[in-house]
Structure 1
Amino acid sequence: MFKKTTRKATIHSLTVKRLKEELIEGLSNSDDLTIKIMHLQGKKILLAFFSENISSDRMSEEVLTPLTNRVLDLSYKSLYSTLPVSNINVTNLIDEVLMGIIRGHVYLFIEGDPFGLLLDVADIKSRSIETAESESLVYGPKVSFNEKLENNMSLLRNRVNDPRLKMEKLEVGNRIKTIVYITYIQDIADPTNVETFRQRLNDLEVDSVIDSTLLAQQIEDNSWTLFPQYVVTELPDRVSLALLHGKIGLLVERSPAAVIGPSSFFSFFETTEDVYLRWNLGSFLRFIRMVAIFLSILLTPAYVAVLTYHYEVIPSSLLISLGSSRANVPFPPVMEALLLEFIIELLREAGARLPTKVGQTMGIVGGIVIGQAAVQAGFTSNILIIIIALGALGSFTTPSYVMGAVVRFIRFPIIILAGMFGGIGIMFAFCFLILHLLRLTTLGRPYLSPVYPFHLSDLKYSLFRVPPQFLTNRASSNKPIDSNRIAKKQKKQYADIDE
């Protein structure tokens, strides 16, 4: 087992000179480390910090000015109660001091005292709060998380202003310490889910957790599957809605996204926009997405299977059109389909990596030029171009980028099976996918919930939406403590003004 490396030495009875040597050694003699030694009231005071991580104005106003103007007793206890710093930690552990300095704190130590103070005057550079980029919306709040943990916590607190909202702090990583907050509503979230998250984070043995997407992969139930098991979102309102339904969120330091669990397969096809729109429109959009994903997976393999093995299912008028369009194509349907799918993936990846305006032009112009040239050169047929385009559009309707990538990936083995065994190959692939999804779990909960195990009352939170007056209970698949959302009251009927 990987052993955590921590320095348990304390600063008890250390001199300022010896402490300075300990800090320099512990921080690798870094040139940007600033250590100041002051003499006040006959005592030596050490201040250690990274100048680029602190606010110079706060340092002057909240630390240096009150310190130099003091006429009372100079001790860590007195400073703890009088310095105008919002967050002060008392510590005598060297490893805590080192981590505090790295995070933008100023360490203040008075020679002869058994403890020192970590003063939070951090000014960690981060981008401002902006609109969401990966989860674009037409309706609803568009503000997104950013890389500063304090901002993300504030955004979430602002939306879930419930005194029972709890944020539990943990540290993850052996070499690079990363703060992770488990956030949930105490009287709603299932304690078993909270304990499972807590245990997996505490048992995690890794050098570092750079981002929430990596953390989600490291605590998954099954690391071999293609399918994501936790929703990773940059929208605070999506996290707040999940918390109100009994789910749990993870806020990760230095990450602009939060992790939500447990998340079922259907969670990756939902958006907050479905909630903000009227219930019938939200249901229609979810239905469109599910149909689009099904067609995205099925269309190209069906084309390959029909042209290779099942000509009899094609109407004669359409068969003539297919025959004429493929008359000059030298490849079998499976090679033709794989070639076009590969070209589409190349265009998509190139468009995603190029600057926005250039990427959009590349995708549109490249698709038109290459598609037209491929048809004229006899590499493919017109009908397959249409099918491939519809399949690509269907995969792009998925709100989750990761799930969309999964859909595009699994098309390739299904196309190969369709070319080898026809319709039987497609059915084998679909049966394998269904069995695989049935075996998957997310935070110990069934991945296909509420379809398996079947919960009729929970379908209105996943596959479709219903009018608000019927949303009286929370989804039972999340095992909420408080299952009631609204009281079951008969809606009052008001008479028309002319009556």
Structure 2
Amino acid sequence: MFKKRRTTKVDPNDSIRSVENESCDDIPVEAAQLLSLVQKKLHHTSDLKVITLLNITLFYIENQVDDHEFNRNIIGRLKREEYSTSKQIIHDIAVHDVEKSPDFEHAIIMVLKGSVGIHVQGAKEIILAKIPLNNHRSLSKPENESQVIGPQVGFNESLSTNVSMIRRTLVTPDLKNELFIIGKRTHTAVSVLYIEGLASKDHVSRLNEKISSIQLDGLLDSAVLNQLINDNALSIFPQMLLTERPDRICDGLLNGKIAVLVDGSTMAILCPLSFIEFFESREDYNVRWPIATFIRLLRFIAMLLSVFFTALYVAALTFHYEVIPQALLVPLGESRSRVPFPPLFEALLLEFIIELLREAGARLPTKVGQTMGIVGGIVIGTAAVQAGFTSNILIIIVALGALASFTTPSYTMGSLIRIIRFPILFLAGFWGFYGIMFSFCIILIHLLRLSTLGSPYMAPFYPPRFRDWADSIVRLPFTNTFKRPTLSRPQDKTKYKPDEVN
């Protein structure tokens, strides 16, 4: 209580210093105060450019705006005279996307996104002329979802371009686009697209609630958002589809699904999605139905083969020799006669080598990665057999399992298949066929308990919807698939009349 009270001298002529205590939501009327507040907000960044023309102040971030359009349509159009109102400036500049903002925080965010801030002396608002630098790449073929028959174009990193590609296909006023901003530091734009009157209102409200409740510093890719809006974040199974194909998104929207696009990401999210739909491709509808049915059955069998084939080999050699045909016992015994390891260790070694080759091939450049996969597989496989580390039969089994995992159209589901082989392999090595059956039951129970936007993940098999089986693991003619899938809970259940497509 006996401390000397600290006094602060206040300079009434220093108008800039008083801005520091001013609310960031209010825009100062004086240009000097405004520039001081902008510099303070942007931490005196070196790429902030300021231009003063009489009573007009322009500021923007270098390399974020189109310099050619800025010089021609803004600087070149402003008259060398004093402006009294913002309306006169908007009338003179030749920029089609212009807004007036009385909110300082919003103005700063728009400047960081490629707008030019224009302030008139005495005004309590900032004119925002949006001329961002468009430096995104041109459209190209999808890298991970190639197909022979059908469109050969994929999404790029521009949200506006991706939305326009969808609108170019779905020329309907019912296509609705809801915009969200996520990320305290990135302010990433997220678009939720669906067809009004077709998509389920419950699904739309549930998804919008999940997206609007996300609070994080930054969102850089749709794959991150996909993990944040899943019904079960702890599950290893993907519950929403990541795709880079506009035609796949348009087909899902026509079936009553919802699409989510993230600015800066080449992948779009499609939901809700059932387990069996991860093994479907848009190309299945571009070929005759017997061919599509055969390919879908082939993918499903390949998935089972990839997950259980190596585990069955380990279980049979470790515990159940009686299930091996007598004709195979002699060559199998000769192949394993030089192998000093038990079947479990032998299988784990080869599976680990296969995953190493796959990861190395994916990270290296395309041509080098292909060479690494082919040469590395042949050299390592041959050397492992000659050194007695493994048998010829197991190399064939592991190679078939790895090859089968690549038939899945979805990258996330294919990665999942390669991962769940390892715990099943361990259970097969310790408990034999009982371990395989136990792991199968655990996986099946988990799948039956999963949901996607509140809808059952194992539809149309659980709960059984026999009408939807016509376009699930098989694909019947279009006359049998005129109903939209029940999983989407569409408001309009019929796509077309069967008698009108014959």
Quote the Cα distance in structure 2 between the aligned partners of 1:49 and 1:367: 54
* TM-score (norm: length of structure 2): 0.93
- Does the CA-based 8 Å contact 1:458-1:477 persist in structure 2? no
Specify the code of the residue in structure 1 equivalent to 2:244: E
Residues 180-207 of structure 1, C-alpha deviations (whole Å, 9 max, x = no match): 0111111111111111111111111111
Quote the Cα distance in structure 2 between the aligned partners of 1:212 and 1:8: 35
Specify the code of the residue in structure 2 equivalent to 1:48: F
2:66 to 55, 63, 75: 55
1:69 is displaced (CA, Å) by: 6.8
Quote the Cα distance in structure 2 between the aligned partners of 1:284 and 1:106: 57
Quote the Cα distance in structure 2 between the aligned partners of 1:444 and 1:8: 44
Partner SS state of residue 201, structure 1: helix
Q: 1:8 to 1:86 in 2, by over 3 A?
A: farther
2:464 to 449, 454, 466: 454
Q: Which moved more, 1:327-336 or 1:480-489?
A: 480-489
- Does the CA-based 8 Å contact 2:28-2:34 persist in structure 1? no
Quote the Cα distance in structure 2 between the aligned partners of 1:315 and 1:12: 84
- Does the CA-based 8 Å contact 1:11-1:19 persist in structure 2? no
Matching residue of 2:49: 34
Q: 1:275 to 1:79 in 2, by over 3 A?
A: farther
Quote the Cα distance in structure 2 between the aligned partners of 1:69 and 1:45: 10
Specify the code of the residue in structure 2 equivalent to 1:50: I
Matching residue of 1:366: 376
Quote the Cα distance in structure 1 between the aligned partners of 2:431 and 2:470: 38
1:25 to 36, 40, 50: 40
Quote the Cα distance in structure 2 between the aligned partners of 1:143 and 1:313: 50
1:196 to 185, 202, 206: 206
Residues 367-395 of structure 1, C-alpha deviations (whole Å, 9 max, x = no match): 11111111111111111011001100110
Q: 1:126 and 2:141 equivalent?
A: no
- Does the CA-based 8 Å contact 2:243-2:269 persist in structure 1? yes
Alignment of 1:244-283 (within 5 A): 244-283=254-293
Quote the Cα distance in structure 2 between the aligned partners of 1:8 and 1:324: 83
Specify the code of the residue in structure 1 equivalent to 2:365: P
1:441 is displaced (CA, Å) by: 1.2
Residues 125-151 of structure 1, C-alpha deviations (whole Å, 9 max, x = no match): 211111110111111111111111111
Partner SS state of residue 176, structure 2: strand
Matching residue of 2:367: 357
- Does the CA-based 8 Å contact 2:344-2:426 persist in structure 1? yes
Quote the Cα distance in structure 1 between the aligned partners of 2:28 and 2:378: 75
Q: 1:309 to 1:431 in 2, by over 3 A?
A: same
1:8 is displaced (CA, Å) by: 6.7
Quote the Cα distance in structure 1 between the aligned partners of 2:240 and 2:379: 39
Quote the Cα distance in structure 2 between the aligned partners of 1:150 and 1:399: 26
Q: 1:227 and 2:237 equivalent?
A: yes
RMSD: 1.6
Specify the code of the residue in structure 2 equivalent to 1:46: T
Quote the Cα distance in structure 2 between the aligned partners of 1:79 and 1:259: 41
Specify the code of the residue in structure 2 equivalent to 1:265: F
1:244 is displaced (CA, Å) by: 0.5
Q: 1:66 and 2:77 equivalent?
A: yes
1:149 to 159, 168, 189: 159
Quote the Cα distance in structure 2 between the aligned partners of 1:420 and 1:444: 37
Matching residue of 1:3: none
Quote the Cα distance in structure 1 between the aligned partners of 2:380 and 2:130: 57
Matching residue of 2:449: 439
Specify the code of the residue in structure 1 equivalent to 2:41: G
1:453 is displaced (CA, Å) by: 1.3
1:124 is displaced (CA, Å) by: 3.4
Residues 325-354 of structure 1, C-alpha deviations (whole Å, 9 max, x = no match): 101110111111001000111111111111
Structure 1 alignment gaps of length 5 or more? 1-6, 493-499
1:62 is displaced (CA, Å) by: 2.2
1:173 to 177, 183, 199: 183
Q: 1:15 and 2:25 equivalent?
A: no
Matching residue of 1:4: none
Partner SS state of residue 443, structure 2: helix
1:235 is displaced (CA, Å) by: 0.9
Residues 72-131 of structure 1, C-alpha deviations (whole Å, 9 max, x = no match): x64223444554322112211111111101111111111112222111111132111111
- Does the CA-based 8 Å contact 2:27-2:34 persist in structure 1? no
Quote the Cα distance in structure 2 between the aligned partners of 1:297 and 1:343: 17
Alignment of 1:371-410 (within 5 A): 371-410=381-420
- Does the CA-based 8 Å contact 2:27-2:104 persist in structure 1? no
Alignment of 1:103-118 (within 5 A): 103-118=113-128
Partner SS state of residue 126, structure 1: coil
Matching residue of 2:9: none
Partner SS state of residue 86, structure 1: coil
Residues 269-298 of structure 1, C-alpha deviations (whole Å, 9 max, x = no match): 111111212222112111110000001111
Matching residue of 2:56: 45
- Does the CA-based 8 Å contact 2:293-2:473 persist in structure 1? yes
2:248 to 215, 238, 241: 238
